[in-house]
């Protein structure tokens, strides 16, 4: 999709479709030239209420159709930016690439880099569908050829060009994550995830991928990751995707060297749960939702896409992505409830439930990530079903050992539209993971039901070295949508990509 800024008069705009977002009762605020193209009857029936959509076909001029979308009165809880994203997405979905190859979005006074970025982002991600396994390739939306952002008063500056470039990169990252998540587990195996990371690294010299298979993992004693994998025919993989920014005016780019303003470039480690299929293992899941369990590598997909995007954006920050990838299967060789295993950190784990496997692979992933001495350590995982009960599909839970990092994630969530909500983590909850026979148990007290999402965090904290600011994001509810929404399809959402890119931008100096 070719994106350009249209900052000339509206008369000179030639497009098959112009999307216009309108606050409730404010269509008289549209510029006269635009208002005149809309028939009187349309002015009367379109009020601008939330989610109202009306397409009009002007009798004159070079705009084939105008899609009016209501923003509502703005008095609800959603931010103006989120109302704008949803309205643009709704407008975009009225159009098909077949009859609108050239589209335009009217920005008018909403001329700030974030609105530019969001408009382009919505054009990229709202029409997304996962169609890789349909034998008929031609049906279904296939992206627009050209997009014009209409802001008659705006100057075509570097800021504008950067906003457009940023949107293209973030959009591609979200689509990449969605594709990885939606790919069925017979294709998206741990090894395939490793191959994808290697391919991504080959495309950018600032990225390096390291993929360890089971022989390497055994040698290095990644006992928790291997334990989860031992019932599966697929080999576990520990995937590291590292982005080191090229620091100008320095001989070698090192994350520990000072940046231009003299401050240290930060190192952020992102650890993703990469369970390519979670059957539950010997604690087999009931059949109702087991068919969705290829989603259980969503954290890993988000980490992969985010690190690649950080590199494409050339953010001045060192990012280490670690994906602990495995299948969780029952078999004669599978891990059994009651087994005790030794993690890479040396801590022993009393495995009371083989379906609480995410925290096992993350234990080794977190321990590995810590060797990069990150300034911030963040894991992202479809860790619990309980988080769906708590927050549904609309917010990601965040827990951690550092309030400032939790606050930063909360702020990045509000800015990006991927909202997070904190849960407590204190000594009362830490007591839930005490084991009778080992250093820690993977199932909290009360058969794992009380405070299950918090207990997941309390377990993971044991594998974070003291002194490293750490946060855990539970995307159990947000990684996959059960119904389509304004800018997401049913299935993999890619939630976490925008959030983490926004955080990395804020941590970049
Ligand atoms: N992958 C699941 C969590 C999950 C379930 C995410 C449904 C998204 C949708 C995880 O491995 C799991 O099974 N967790 C258990 C933990 C329990 C045994 C403590 C759960 O949530 O039931
Ligand atoms: Zn599980
Ligand atoms: Zn799982």
- 143, pLDDT greater than 60: yes
Distance 6 CA to ligand 3 centre (A): 47
335, 349, 356: residue to mutate for ligand 1 pocket, most atoms within 8 A of CB: 356
User: What pLDDT, on a 0 to 100 scale, did the predictor assign at position 258?
Assistant: 53
484 lines ligand 1 (CB under 6 A): no
Least confident stretch, 30-44, 231-245, 380-394, 412-426: 30-44
> What is the average pLDDT across 389-401?
98
393 lines ligand 1 (CB under 6 A): no
CA distances from 300 to 188, 270, 322, 386 (A): 12, 9, 8, 20
User: What pLDDT, on a 0 to 100 scale, did the predictor assign at position 156?
Assistant: 82
pLDDT band at 509 (very low <50, low <70, confident <90, very high): confident
- 89, pLDDT greater than 70: yes
- Within its chain, how far is the Cα of 385 from the centroid? 18
Structural tokens at position 208: 């390096």
385 lines ligand 1 (CB under 6 A): yes
pLDDT tens readout for residues 216-247: 999 999 999 999 999 999 999 999 999 999 97
Active site residues: 285, 359
Specify the residue with its C-alpha closest to ligand 1, atom 16: 356
459, 476, 495, 496: residue to mutate for ligand 1 pocket, most atoms within 8 A of CB: 476
Per the DSSP assignment, residues forming a β-bridge with 350 are: 340, 441
- Contact (Cβ atoms closer than 8 angstroms) between residue 455 and residue 432: yes
385, 479, 481: residue to mutate for ligand 1 pocket, most atoms within 8 A of CB: 385
User: What pLDDT, on a 0 to 100 scale, did the predictor assign at position 45?
Assistant: 93
Average pLDDT, the chain: 94
- 337, pLDDT greater than 60: yes
300 lines ligand 1 (CB under 6 A): no
Distance 393 CA to ligand 2 centre (A): 18
User: What pLDDT, on a 0 to 100 scale, did the predictor assign at position 29?
Assistant: 82
- DSSP letter string, 353-415: -TT--HHHHHHHHHHHHGGG--SEEEEEE---SHHHHHHTTT-EEEEES-HHHHHHHHHHHHH
- 502, pLDDT greater than 80: yes
User: What pLDDT, on a 0 to 100 scale, did the predictor assign at position 250?
Assistant: 45
Distance 355 CA to ligand 3 centre (A): 7
Greatest mean pLDDT range, 106-120, 249-263, 402-416: 402-416
Give dist(CA 427, CA 446) in Å, integer: 17
* Closest ligand to the CA of 446: 1
pLDDT band at 260 (very low <50, low <70, confident <90, very high): low
Specify the residue with its C-alpha closest to ligand 1, atom 22: 385
Please give the DSSP secondary-structure letter assigned to residue 236.
P
223 lines ligand 1 (CB under 6 A): no
Residues shown for the chain: 509
- 481, pLDDT greater than 60: yes
pLDDT tens readout for residues 411-424: 999 999 999 999 99
């Amino acid at each position: 999709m070719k994106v350009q800024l249209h900052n000339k008069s509206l008369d000179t705009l030639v497009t098959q479709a112009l999307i216009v977002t309108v606050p409730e009762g404010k269509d008289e605020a549209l510029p006269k030239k635009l208002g005149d193209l809309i028939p009187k009857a349309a002015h009367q029936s379109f009020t601008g209420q939330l989610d109202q959509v009306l397409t009009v076909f002007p009798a004159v001029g070079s705009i084939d159709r105008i899609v009016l979308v209501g923003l509502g009165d703005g008095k609800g809880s959603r931010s103006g930016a989120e109302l704008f994203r949803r309205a643009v997405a709704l407008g975009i979905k009225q159009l098909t690439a077949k009859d609108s190859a050239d589209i335009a979005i009217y920005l008018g006074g909403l001329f700030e880099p974030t609105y530019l970025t969001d408009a382009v982002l919505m054009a990229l991600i709202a029409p997304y569908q996962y169609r890789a396994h349909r034998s008929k390739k031609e049906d279904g939306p296939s992206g627009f050829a050209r997009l014009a952002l209409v802001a008659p008063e705006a100057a075509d500056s570097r800021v504008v060009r950067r906003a457009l470039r940023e949107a293209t990169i973030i959009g591609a990252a979200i689509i990449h994550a969605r594709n990885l998540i939606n790919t069925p587990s017979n294709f998206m195996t741990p090894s395939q995830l490793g191959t994808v990371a290697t391919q991504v690294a080959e495309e950018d010299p600032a990225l390096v991928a390291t993929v360890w298979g089971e022989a390497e993992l055994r040698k290095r004693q990644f006992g928790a990751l291997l334990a989860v994998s031992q019932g599966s025919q697929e080999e576990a993989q520990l995937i590291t995707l590292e982005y080191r920014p090229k620091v100008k005016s320095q001989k070698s780019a090192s994350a520990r060297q000072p940046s231009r303003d003299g401050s240290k470039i930060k190192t952020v480690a992102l650890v993703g749960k990469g369970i390519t299929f979670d059957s539950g293992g010997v604690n087999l899941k009931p059949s109702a939702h087991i068919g969705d369990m290829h989603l259980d590598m969503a954290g890993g997909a988000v980490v992969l896409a985010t690190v690649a995007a950080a590199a494409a954006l050339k953010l001045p920050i060192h990012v280490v992505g670690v994906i602990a990838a495995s299948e969780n299967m029952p078999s004669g060789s599978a891990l059994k409830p009651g087994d005790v295993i030794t993690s890479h950190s040396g801590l022993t784990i009393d495995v009371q439930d083989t379906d609480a496997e995410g925290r096992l692979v993350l234990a080794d992933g977190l321990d590995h990530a810590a060797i990069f001495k990150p300034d911030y350590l963040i894991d992202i995982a479809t860790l619990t079903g309980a988080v769906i009960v708590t927050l549904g599909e609309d917010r990601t839970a965040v827990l951690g050992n550092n309030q400032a990092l939790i606050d930063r994630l909360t702020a990045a969530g509000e800015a990006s539209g991927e909202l997070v909500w904190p849960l407590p983590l204190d000594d009362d909850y830490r007591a839930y993971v005490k084991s009778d026979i080992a250093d820690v148990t993977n199932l909290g007290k009360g058969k794992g039901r009380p405070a299950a999402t918090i207990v997941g965090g309390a377990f993971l904290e044991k594998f974070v070295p003291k002194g490293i600011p750490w946060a855990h994001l539970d995307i159990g509810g947000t990684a996959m949508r059960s119904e389509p929404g304004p800018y997401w399809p049913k299935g993999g959402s890619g939630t976490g990509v925008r959030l983490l890119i926004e955080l990395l931008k804020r941590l970049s100096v």
